[in-house]
A = this chain, B = another copy of it.
Amino acid sequence: MDQIHSASLVGDAIGAISRHIRERDLMPGDKLPSEALLSKELNVSRTVVREAFRSLAAMRIIELATGKRATVAQIDHGAMSLMIEHGVHTDQINIHQIYDVRRTIETRIVTLAAIRRTDEEAAEILRLAAQMKASLGDPAALMEYDLAFHTALAQASRNPVYSLLIGSFQGITRQTWPMGWKTRPTQAARDLMVQTHIDIARAVAASDPLKAVELMTLHFDESVRALLTAGMS
Contact = CB atoms under 8 A, between A and B. Distances in A.
Contact of A55 (B8, B54, B66, B93): B54
A35 to B, nearest CB: 12
A161 B93 contact: yes
A83 B165 CA distance: 12
A24 to B, nearest CB: 11
Contact of A97 (B27, B60, B86, B160): B160
Interface string A201-219: 0000000000000000000
Contact of A85 (B1, B26, B28, B91): B1
B104 A28 contact: no
Interface stretch (A72-80, A138-146, A192-200, A222-230): A72-80
Most chain B C-beta atoms within 10 Å of own C-beta, residue among A47, A58, A87: A58
B58 A28 contact: no
Given A22-B89, A56-B58, A161-B101, A80 B78 contact: no
Given A90-B27, A98-B161, A161-B98, A80 B82 contact: no
Interface in A22-59: 22, 25-28, 47, 50-51, 54-59
Interface string A87-120: 1011111000110110011001000100000000
A147 interface: no
A98 B160 CA distance: 9
A71 B187 CA distance: 46
B93 A83 contact: no
